[in-house]
Amino acid sequence: MVEIHVNLGANSYPIYIEKDLLKHAASYIQKQFPDKRIILISDDHVFPLYGIELKQQLSAFTNCSSLILPHGETTKNFQTLTTVYSAMLEAGITRSDLVIALGGGVIGDLTGFAAASFLRGVHFIQMPTSLLAQVDSSVGGKVAVDLPQGKNLVGAFYQPKMVFIDPSVLASLPERYIHDGMGEVIKYGCIKDAELFAQLQAHTSFQALSPILTDIIAKCVDIKRIVVEQDPFDKGERMLLNFGHTLAHTIEQYYQYERESHGEAVAIGMYQISCIAEEQGLSAPGTSNRILRVLEQYGLPSACGVSLKELLKAITLDKKNLNHHLNVILLREIGDSYIYPTTPAFFEKEGRIV
C-alpha cells in the first residue's frame, strides 16, 4: 500500500494506491462514513466489472444505490447532469451523505461536479478505473462538464474526501485506453521529472512497465499533489499541468470528442507545441524529437492532420484564453517547464498542419 496525503487544510484527503484495493475499499469507507447513505455512480463498461461487487460490499453496512451511465466523453454534459441530480434526490442523499465516482475521467469529472453543486456540496470519493484518471484527473479537485463550444467550460474546484487507486483494474482496459493514460504519464516526466521521463524511455512498452507500475502511478500522483498543494485554484504553478492541453482540447472539440481520446490529443499537443517552441527558440533543440520517440514507444500519435488555422478558432474559446492573452506551457528542456504568456498569434503559421 502506498498512501499519499494531499495537504489542503480543511480540504485535505488521503490517496491510497494498492493492487486489488477495490476488493476491500468498503472497509475504509465504513470507518470514515458510518451510517451514511451512498450513491455509486459508474458507467456501463465499468459497473459490470467492479461496481456490482463494490455495491454488495457497501450494501452490507449502509443504504447504497447506484446509477449507471453510458460510457464516453459525450456523457459529460448538462443533460446527463440532470439525470445524476434526479438519482441523488431519489436516493435521499443529503449534505452529510456520500457520492462515489467509479470509472474513468468522464465519470469522475461529472460526478464530482454533481457532488459540488448538489445541495451546495456533498461528500464524494474518487475510484478511478482508467490509467488517465488514476494518474491525473482523480486528484486535485477539478470537476466539470463540457459545453458544445468546448471542454470543461463549466466546472468547480471541489476536493474529494478520499481517492482509491487500484492498478490491477487496468488489466481490463482496452489497449487504446492504456495508451491514452500514458499521454498524461509522459506529460509528468516532461514538466517535472526528467528521471521519470528517462524511465519511460528505458522501457519499450506499457507491458514492460508492469513490474514498476504502482511506483510510476505514485510518482505521477505525488507530482500532482505537490503542484496542487502549492496552487489549489490553478492561478500559477498548477498551470504547468496543462502542458499540451491548449491544443489537445481544441483537437478533441474539433472532432466533437469522437476521434482522438484525451490522452492521444495531449500527446499531439505536447509534440506540436514543442515543435513550435523550438522554432521560436523557446525550447532546447531536440526536445520535440525526444517527446516524439517516447510517444511512438507507447503507441501515441504526434499529429492529427488538421490545419492550425482551423484549430485556432477553438483556441479563442479555450478557458485558458483570457482577453486574447493566453498562457501556454513550454519546456526549457525535458523535466523543466514554464508558463509562457502570449496570444493565439503564437500558433499562427500559414499552412501548418498539426
The 3 state secondary structure assigned to 153-212 is EEEEECCCCEEEECHHHHHHCCHHHHHHHHHHHHHHHHHHCHHHHHHHHHCCCHHHHHHH
Query: pLDDT 10s per residue in the chain (354 long)?
Result: 899 999 999 999 999 999 999 999 999 999 999 989 999 999 999 999 999 999 999 999 999 999 999 998 899 999 999 999 999 999 999 999 999 999 999 999 999 999 999 999 999 999 999 999 999 999 999 999 998 887 888 999 999 999 999 999 999 999 998 999 999 999 999 999 999 999 999 998 899 998 999 999 999 999 999 999 999 998 889 999 999 998 998 898 888 878 999 999 999 999 999 999 999 999 999 999 999 999 999 999 999 998 888 887 766 655 454 455 788 999 999 999 999 998 878 887 767 888
For position 314, what pLDDT does the model report? 66
The string of DSSP codes covering 204-239 is: SSHHHHGGGHHHHHHHHHHHHHHHHHH-TTSSSGGG
For position 346, what pLDDT does the model report? 85
Q: For the purposes of burial, counting CB atoms within 10 Å of the CB of 256, is it exposed (0-12), middle (13-18) or buried (19 or more)? A: exposed
What's the pTM value of the predicted model, to 2 decimals?
0.92
> How many residues are present in the chain?
354
Q: How many CB atoms lie within 10 A of CB 237?
A: 15
Q: Which of these, 126, 129, 243, lies nearest to 188 by C-alpha position?
A: 243
Residue with C-alpha cell 493566453?
A: 326
- Alpha-carbon distance 84 to 108, whole Å? 13
C-alpha dihedral sign at 252, 255, 258, 263: negative
Residue with C-alpha cell 461496481?
A: 51
- Alpha-carbon distance 320 to 245, whole Å? 10
Residues β-bridged to residue 320:
none
For residue range 294-352, list pLDDT tens digits in order.
999 999 999 999 888 888 776 665 545 445 578 899 999 999 999 999 887 888 776 78
C-alpha dihedral sign at 153, 154, 157, 163: negative
H or E, element range at 78: helix 78-90
* DSSP tally for the chain: helices H, then strands E: 14, 12
For position 265, what pLDDT does the model report? 95
- Alpha-carbon distance 16 to 21, whole Å? 8
For position 329, what pLDDT does the model report? 96
For position 321, what pLDDT does the model report? 47
- Alpha-carbon distance 284 to 332, whole Å? 6
The CA angle 235-139-89, to the nearest 5 degrees, is: 105
* φ, ψ dihedrals at 12, nearest 5°: -70, 155
Maximal CA-CA distance, the chain: 63
Dihedral, CA atoms, 45, 36, 11, 242, nearest 10 degrees?
10
